[in-house]
Amino acid sequence: MSETRNLVTAGAKPRALRGAKMRLTSPWATVAALVIAVIWTIPTFGILVSSFRPRTEIQTTGWWTAFENWGWTFENYSEALSTATGGLTMAQAFINSFAITLPAAIIPLIVATLAAYGFAWLDFPGKNVLFVCVFALQIVPIQMAFIPLLQLFSQGEIFGFPVIQAFGSAGYAQVWVAHSIFALPLAIFLLHNFIAQIPADVIEAARVDGAGHGQIFFRIVLPLSMPAIASFAIFQFLWVWNDLLVSLIFADGNVAPVTKVLAQMTGQRGEDWHLLTAGAFIAIIVPLVVFLLLQRFFVRGLLAGAAKG
């Protein structure tokens, strides 16, 4: 009887999976997704085609006529890379973008991981209230923080305590701090949800063996949380690389990233807007490579966080 019951149960599982798949999928949904993807891709494809067309043809004819009048050239790309905008070329701005993006992705991850562990596994007065306040910071528009941050960077101190003097000058430090502050609420919230779902038995067993908080964090929590950390690292890297608003406020002079140079590439009267077609694809190379190479880590982290519970 037990063998028969096992056979019936084994046969019921594939049928249940097929039924769930049929309920969750639909041919019409697939068609709609394909149509949306095509509509979304057409403007990007048009910009790509225009980036290889001469300036006169870009300004006089539409990109769809490029297949009739063959005049493909790399002139826009060479001009976009060599033209100095605001004292910087696109190549120099690429270096600035890396110098801004890498620390601005690493700093909030370090702070958020430590804070998430504290909120998840440490008991201290006001923990829940403080966590709610951190969660609520996600709904605060970043524009509201610009004036206080500018005052902080210009004064060089907060509540009478001196801060890093580099904030008062045009440098990378103030951009790192701005991006880190804006990223911390979401990073702490996401990592806390993941770290808090680590089985309590694992943490208790480590404590029984005499492990302190440092050992538990570095030997247990950190390795188990790598999927979530990798997911947010990719997200933060892409967000900082593509950011323009924070760069316009805090990244002045020789530390301007590629997005700011790209925004200034059109000229004072918009006469060089044709360079945007090539400059946009130059700027998108790094985010595209990062996403394609690390996509599996991003999806793995999202699925790992969704599967726990």
**Contact 254/303 with Cβ under 8 angstroms?**
no
What confidence score (pLDDT) does residue 241 get? 92
- SS3 of 157, please? strand
pLDDT in the model for residue 277: 83
Contact assessment for residue 223 and residue 214, using Cβ atoms and an 8 Å cutoff:
no
Which ranges of the chain have pLDDT less than 70?
1-25, 70, 86, 155-170, 267-271, 298-309
pTM score: 0.77
Classify residue 98 as exposed, middle or buried by CB count within 10 Å of its CB (0-12, 13-18, 19+): middle
Would you state the pLDDT for residue 82? 79
**Residue-level pLDDT at 72:** 81
Residue 1 confidence (pLDDT): 46
- Say how far residue 289 (Cα) sits from the centre of its chain: 13
Neighbouring residues of 45: CB distance < 8 A, sequence distance ≥ 6:
none
Q: Helix 90-121 crosses helix 275-283 at what angle (to 10 degrees)?
A: 40
Provide the pLDDT for residue 228: 86
pLDDT at position 4 is: 45
Question: Exposed, middle or buried, 178 (CB in 10 Å: 0-12/13-18/19+)?
Answer: buried
Query: Who's near 56: CB < 8 A, 6+ residues apart?
Result: none
Which residues 6+ apart lie within 8 Å of 14 measured at CB? none
The per-residue pLDDT for 22 is 61
Q: Quick check: 302 and 231 in contact, CB under 8 A?
A: yes
Q: Domains along the chain? A: 2-73 (no CATH), 86-307 (1.10.3720.10)
